[in-house]
Chains A and B, each alone.
Chain A
């Protein structure tokens, strides 16, 4: 199991055990993490699973594909470390990954 930490916009941290192969978004939804809406259910079609990746982890994740970059255009307050959590797949190397959820998704 891979340990992932979600920090909400108010600064509260929640650590959960993530299943390898699941997406970061699915991990959040399964663990009832607040601040992730995932309106489209993971089709990379809504930009409501936006997270900010801990800068220490930014370069350790596979770079976003064009589809994810395009969809990030629909998110708000996009920063260099913005990602869509439905496009990040959990694997053992991501143990300890920390992401922050934005104040609002949409």
Chain B
């Protein structure tokens, strides 16, 4: 049985706002665990624009997305947060009371948490594979169309059509080719973003007649009861052909979806979580929402707003975690106790 991880605060989302909340909570002696669906820390900053300059972080005339994340990681180091990456929170269930909240949280990787408070800092939601807008594709999903390879055995002796030109498409082409009946890689152009050595390997397999490469795009799927039989392709020369296949793996990058958050009993407004502007708490006592995912009058989706929201939420989190303690407002410039926590005193 999986051991239940007990924590004062569980932060969902390891983007800039989730990371800075660790700092604000840490100053108040509240330890954190963070969960993120991405295999790395940094959320959109690291995934969408690591190299892009950001100009509106107070005190930084210019900083890149990755640069900001690296600095935040350094800033929160004294508080030793624990990260659980590459997993999505599936369920969140209240097992406490309004006065003494307690939440049981599980992830799709099997982790189980018992948290006194939950801070949702999930930005635009969780990054999930982008689905190609092909009519009727839903009927095939999970049966013969997959957006990720969970078990390679399911692809043994299959005719697999893999679509895309990045590392996911090329890696799975190379990994599945030895066990598949046939692998067909399809890409819209004869240039690939994937690592050059993977592309070379793929090209030599094609030259040896061990797999096929087609330049084109999938326009329609053919099959019955979710079982794929062929994909209709528009080739680069604008001709339309049917390619026989019984598995399709489209790799079109990631998009952000709200995901299971919608099922946690929180009030939602247009895929955002309404909060008050005193504590940034949701309609469920003990669950907070900070950063791009929340909504309140005057909300601006700026990283700096998320920092502020985390600082205020931390004050209320303290009252749940230490109901008997009085909270003393202190400055990091002058408080020796804060400086001790930061390891600088």
Residues of chain A having any CB pair with chain B under 8 Å:
39-40, 43, 45-47, 69-70, 72-74, 76-78, 103-104, 106
CA gap between A76 and B52 in the complex, in Å = 25
Nearest CB to that of B187 among chain A residues? Answer: A73
Residues of B near any A CB (own CB < 8 A): 44, 48-49, 52, 124, 130-133, 164-166, 187-189, 191, 193, 217, 219, 252-253, 255-256
Give which listed residue, A70, A78, A106, contacts B217 with CB less than 8 A: A78
Question: Is the Cβ of A77 less than 8 Å from the Cβ of B255?
Answer: no
Contact A76 B217 (CB under 8 A): yes
Please indicate the chain A residues that have their CB under 8 angstroms from the CB of B256 in the complex.
39
Alpha-carbon separation in the docked complex, A59 to B61 (Å): 37
Chain A interface, DSSP helix/strand/loop, else mixed: loop
Given contacts A70-B193, A73-B165, A74-B253, contact A106 B133 (CB under 8 A): yes
Distance of A45 Cα from B124 Cα, bound (Å) = 14
- Flag if B255 contacts A43 (CB, 8 Å): no
CA distance A94 to B132 in the complex (A): 32
Residue contact B48 to A45, C-beta cutoff 8 Å:
yes
Pick from A47, A78, A103, A104: contact of B253, CB below 8 A.
A47
Residues of B within 8 A of A77 (CB): 217, 219
Beyond the given pairs A73-B188, A74-B253, 6 more chain A to chain B contacts, judged by CB atoms under 8 angstroms and listed by A's residue number, are A43-B48, A46-B255, A72-B188, A74-B130, A76-B132, A77-B219
In the bound complex, what is the Cα–Cα distance between A76 and B250 (angstroms)? 12
How many angstroms from the CA of A46 to the CA of B254 in the assembled complex? 8
Ranked nearest first, the 6 interchain pairs of A and B with the lowest CB-CB distance are: A45-B48, A74-B253, A43-B49, A104-B133, A70-B193, A73-B165
How long is the Cα–Cα vector from A40 to B45 in the complex, in angstroms? 11
Instruction: Pull 18 A–B residue pairs with CB atoms less than 8 Å apart, ordered by A.
Output: A39-B124, A40-B48, A40-B49, A45-B48, A46-B48, A46-B255, A69-B191, A73-B188, A73-B189, A73-B193, A74-B130, A74-B253, A76-B132, A78-B217, A103-B133, A106-B130, A106-B131, A106-B133
Q: Which residue of A lies closest to B44 (CB)?
A: A40
**Bound-state Cα–Cα, A65 to B197, Å:** 23
Contacts of A73 in B (CB 8 A): 164-166, 187-189, 193, 252-253
Once bound together, how far apart are the Cα atoms of A71 and B320, in whole Å? Answer: 46
